[in-house]
Amino acid sequence: MTIDIDENYLLGQLKALLAISSPTGYTDEIVHYCSRELERLGLHPELTRRGAIRAIRQGSRRRGARAMVTHLDTLGAQVKFIKDNGRLELVPIGHWSARFAEGARVTIFSSKGSFRGTILPLKASGHTFNDEVDTLPVGWRYVELRIDALTHSLQETRALGIDVGDTVAIDPTPEFLDNGFINSRHLDNKAGVAIALAAIEALERAGAATPVDTHWLFTIAEEVGVGASSVITADVASMLAIDNGTTAPGQNSSEFGVTIAMADQSGPFDYHLTKKLVDLCKVEEIPYQKDVFRYYRSDSASAIEAGHDVRTSLVTFGVDASHGYERIHTDALLSVAKLVGAFAVSPVEIQRDLQPISGVEGFTHQPTELADQPHPTPAEAKAASHAGND
């Protein structure tokens, strides 16, 4: 069954999600938004104490369920110190370089309300510092947050209600181009959430049946490594994470089609589940490529580290300049959403996975046979040998 993804719905959700600030630790409002949208689509979201969402779309059986996981939280910053001049020293929320913070417009969430401001290098005026503007090192120690309020001292800033520990949200500044390119901060992972919602919308619109329950999971602390550690139930046998892939020199990811991750820094993804995704791409004629991420982890890693015995995989939309000034293309979003929908309705092939523990009967095999190779004639072998010595 081919799942028809509504492009306008997907892009509309992405725009709406980008408009809601949600750095890790300040995700309540986006949890409310996502929960309302899931209810509108006909699902019944359940929330953990801190706000991770689980919405189960019922299938033919409960055991051996599949989970689709993505995260609502984004990068951000936090007030580390109020300086004597009233400006703010920051520490990052999540792993991102201060190089991409310089010049960012931001919102500071204080106990007395929100304030606007700009992150600037300590030496921001060329008219004052001349070439020192260009020689200042890059790092969070070398930037400060200028608050758009009347303050020139530590006491005046504190009087505003701003204090150490306050959350700073970075403006996404999205731009959707007619040629399909999308530029914005926080496409990691607002785009993944939009993909999940678009897949749900397509499944509901088609009245699609699934062989097992599908658990749609939306986590709130992936950027700091927690992710899907506490929202998975024992019924889940396999989990597909939806996140960004890194299009950069030395990587095989692309801003087009689906990028299927074979491994990240936590190790290889499940062989059988990953192979199934590749096979689905071939059957559904979804363009794809594979990649390995060395400095990357996702919700899948946090689930395994928390002790969940689930098969894990990761499908990604290629992001240029990830964790910086990010860019994606609509083609990848639609491709990933189509694959997610295809996986949801695909048959369960490993029946043993319906039980958390069972005997060896029915346990999977991985191919170990020698590959078929052509046997060259002596003349062909001699020609190949001479070619290699040229």
Q: Model confidence over 88-121: pLDDT tens digits?
A: 999 999 999 999 999 999 999 999 999 999 999 9
User: 150: which 2 tokens?
Assistant: 């009347």
Task: Name the pLDDT band for 389 (thresholds 50, 70, 90).
Answer: low
Q: Which residues are catalytic?
A: 222
CB 269 within 8 A of CB 300: yes
DSSP 215-257: EEEEES-GGGT-GGGSS--TTEEEEEEEEEEEESTT----SSS
Residue 103 zone, left/alpha/beta (φ > 0; ψ -120 to 50; rest): left
Structure tokens at 252: 């095989």
* DSSP letter string, 316-346: EEEEETTTSSEEEEHHHHHHHHHHHHHHHHS
Least confident of 134-148, 210-224, 330-344, 363-377: 363-377
DSSP assigned state of 171: P
Residue 293's SS3 state is coil
Distance CA 99, CA 77 (A): 13
- Kind plus residue range of the DSSP H or E element containing 88: strand 88-93
Residue listed under structure tokens 């703010």: 88
DSSP 270-312: PHHHHHHHHHHHHHHT--EEEEE-SS---HHHHHHHTT---EE
Predicted local distance difference test score (pLDDT) of residue 375: 84
More confident of the two residues 387 and 161? 161
Sign of the CA dihedral running 240, 346, 36, 11: positive
| pLDDT at site 88 | 98
- Per-residue model confidence (pLDDT) at position 300: 87
Displacement of CA 74 from its chain's centroid (Å): 9
Closest CA to 222 of 87, 94, 111, 320: 94
pLDDT tens by residue, 155-194: 999 999 999 999 999 999 999 999 999 999 999 999 999 9
pLDDT score of 126: 87
Comparing C-alpha atoms, which of 320, 253, 326, 322 is closest to residue 288? 253
Take residue 5 and report the two structure tokens written for it. 């993804």
**Percent with pLDDT over 90 in the chain:** 83
Q: pTM here?
A: 0.95
Q: Over 70: is that where the pLDDT of 354 sits?
A: yes
Give tens-digit pLDDT for 226-252.
Answer: 888 889 999 999 999 999 999 999 999
